[in-house]
């Protein structure tokens, strides 16, 4: 087992390292204006994003992402719990949910700009609306999948209302809820960038677009690299929270498989 684990760790670290080496060697020999050497991109990254533009671009972008994502999670869990618990409500709201989730995210930008302007409220609104659907739908599936025996036992023992939500329904639905949150987190990052490219005066997306328009190609690539790093770190942080919160779930599954 230890040897297998060591091999997996080596592969997990070795594959990205091999990709970086390949990129470094290829870009150094490419001689292309649009694909500058990786060494130049990393130098520009250090000059641009280490302290210099953190306060002016990175923190505002992360604040919008956090606000939109947080609003989507709260609303998605609340509405998803209601729809999952009441079949009639789920049937009535079904067409509206399917209509809302089918709207392409960029199509919301003209409406949001018209109603909310080009400030932070517009960006948070777009992020929240797009991130809502994965959380909501996964919450509905998680609530519907609660073991009926557990619900019947709770009824017999007089466990109702908020106590039943806290002790039975939400814990059982958490694996599905976290699956929706991880999907929504990637959408939040995408919509954060798109909204900043369309209408903004600061932010990572704005910086990348302005660098492209001014043909500052190393700066443009440094912004793209930063977005990739942020996506990786945010996903890793959410995965860590998921592992800690659902530790009991993994233990239960292991016991069931034995």
Q: Considering the entire predicted model, what is its pTM?
A: 0.87
Please give the pLDDT value at position 256: 46
pLDDT of residue 250: 61
- Dump pLDDT digits (tens) for 65-110: 999 999 999 999 999 999 998 989 999 998 999 998 888 888 888 8
Residues 6+ apart with CB under 8 A from 34: 217
Q: Please count the residues of the chain.
A: 258
Question: Given 3-state DSSP classes, what are the helix, strand and coil percentages for the chain, each rounded to the nearest 5?
Answer: 85, 0, 15
Give Cα separations from 226 to 48, 61, 127, 134 (angstroms): 10, 12, 19, 25
What digits encode the pLDDT tens for the residues 8-55?
877 777 888 888 889 899 988 888 888 999 999 999 999 888 887 888
What own/partner pairs with CB < 8 Å and gap ≥ 24 does 234-242 have?
234/185, 234/189, 235/182, 235/185, 235/186, 238/178, 238/181, 238/182, 238/185, 239/182, 242/178, 242/182
Q: What pLDDT digit, counting tens, does each position of 168-221 carry?
A: 888 889 999 999 999 999 999 999 999 999 878 889 999 999 999 999 999 999
Mean pLDDT of the chain: 88
Angle 82-246-185 (CA atoms, 0-180°, nearest 5)?
A: 65
CATH number of the domain located at residue range(s) 35-246 in this protein: 1.10.3720.10
């Amino acid at each position: 087992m230890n040897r297998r684990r060591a091999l997996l760790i080596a592969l997990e670290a070795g594959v990205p390292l091999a990709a970086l080496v390949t990129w470094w060697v290829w870009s150094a020999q490419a001689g292309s204006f649009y694909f500058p050497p990786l060494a130049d991109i990393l130098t520009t990254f250090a000059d641009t994003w280490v302290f210099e533009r953190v306060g002016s671009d990175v923190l505002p972008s992360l604040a919008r992402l956090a606000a939109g994502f947080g609003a989507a999670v709260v609303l998605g869990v609340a509405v998803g719990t209601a729809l999952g618990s009441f079949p009639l409500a789920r049937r009535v709201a079904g067409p509206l949910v399917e209509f809302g989730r089918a709207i392409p995210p960029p199509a919301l930008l003209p409406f949001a700009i018209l109603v909310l302007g080009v400030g932070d409220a517009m960006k948070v609104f777009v992020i929240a609306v797009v991130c809502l659907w994965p959380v909501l739908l996964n919450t509905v599936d998680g609530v519907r999948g609660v073991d009926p025996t557990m619900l019947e036992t709770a009824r017999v023992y007089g466990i109702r209302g908020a106590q039943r939500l806290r002790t039975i329904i939400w814990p059982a639905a958490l694996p599905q809820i976290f699956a929706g949150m991880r999907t929504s987190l990637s959408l939040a990052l995408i919509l954060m960038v798109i909204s900043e490219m369309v209408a903004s005066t600061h932010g990572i997306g704005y910086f990348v677009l302005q660098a492209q328009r001014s043909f500052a190609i190393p700066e443009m690539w440094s912004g793209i690299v930063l977005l990739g790093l942020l996506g990786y770190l945010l996903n890793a942080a959410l995965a860590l929270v998921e592992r800690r919160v659902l530790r009991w779930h993994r233990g239960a599954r292991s016991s069931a498989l034995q």
